[in-house]
Amino acid sequence: MSHPVLQPRNVAVVTGGASGIGLAAARAFQKLGLRVAIADLPSEKLQAAEAELGCSGVVMAVPTDVSEEGALHRLEATVLEKLGPIDVLMNNAAVQPGSDIFGPAAAWSAVIGTNLLGVVHGTQAIVPGMIERGRPGLVINTGSKQGITTPPGDPAYNVAKAGVKAFTEALQHHLRNQEACRITAHLLIPGFVFTGLTARGRTEKPEAAWTAEQTVDFMLQSLERGDFYILCPDNDVPRETDERRILWAAGDIVENRPPLSRWHEKYTDAFKAFAAQPRPHVE
């Protein structure tokens, strides 16, 4: 059984749909019978993705720069004209050029503009129309564990994905308090997924990584359960480990530890002991 919104003839829009998790999601939606629009920067990858999915009138590619607010309004207008009203919006587009606290402003602008503002722009352009229709709908925003535990090494990416988490939480709170609103928002939190974004020159999938298809399969199962936080494991890190890492990160505030204490030499042994504890019982 699939989520009731993921039904034949419904329309899905996937940003960042030319590759990786976005393309895997588009394939899965198409397999379920949805009409799919993939949006991505104009490129041969986008053309190839459209050719793979088939130019049958139920799949279309729309060149889109999600960092530009107007581009998302044009995307909505194009999809409404060609495919019909939108039932599923997956704000998934992302870049990861690498960053440093005092690194180039252009890298920060690119990451914040695409990874965070792209989600905001997509939501603000498309979701009001979804609400107005009065039909059930889904909004899926792709976050990251890096936006929750914020490990050192790529601060711009962490900041953007932390913003996606906060924005999506606020969005779901807003939607559930809208009278007669039948749209729900969900935060996809991938584990280590082998995609063009994470390959970094590798041509073969590392053993620890999941494929994009595994991630999307997990997402669909989570949507069936109604999960808001879609916390994906991978072949190296099970959910229990993620939970301990997330709890430890929150404990930096509660226990008044230094920020990112998991990577602080004074707390190395304390974190290892904490991570080895069994999962806390939840009533």
Is 227 exposed, middle or buried (CB count within 10 Å of its CB: 0-12, 13-18, 19+)? middle
Does the annotation mark 267 as catalytic? Answer: no
Give dist(CA 200, CA 7) in Å, integer.
36
| Rounded CA Rg of the chain | 19
The one catalytic residue in 17, 35, 142, 157 is 157
Residue 183: what are its φ and ψ, rounded to 5°?
A: -100, 135
Instruction: Strand 35-40: give its sheet, edge to edge.
Output: 59-63, 35-40, 11-15, 88-91, 137-142, 183-189, 229-231
Q: Of 49, 60, 16, nearest to 164 (Cα)?
A: 16
DSSP string, 100-139: -TTS-HHHHHHHIIIIIHHHHHHHHHHHHHHHHHTS-EEE
Side chain identity at 19, as an amino acid letter? S
Give dist(CA 64, CA 22) in Å, integer.
14
Give dist(CA 90, CA 14) in Å, integer.
5
Residue 249: what are its φ and ψ, rounded to 5°?
A: -60, -45
| Active site (catalytic) residues | 157
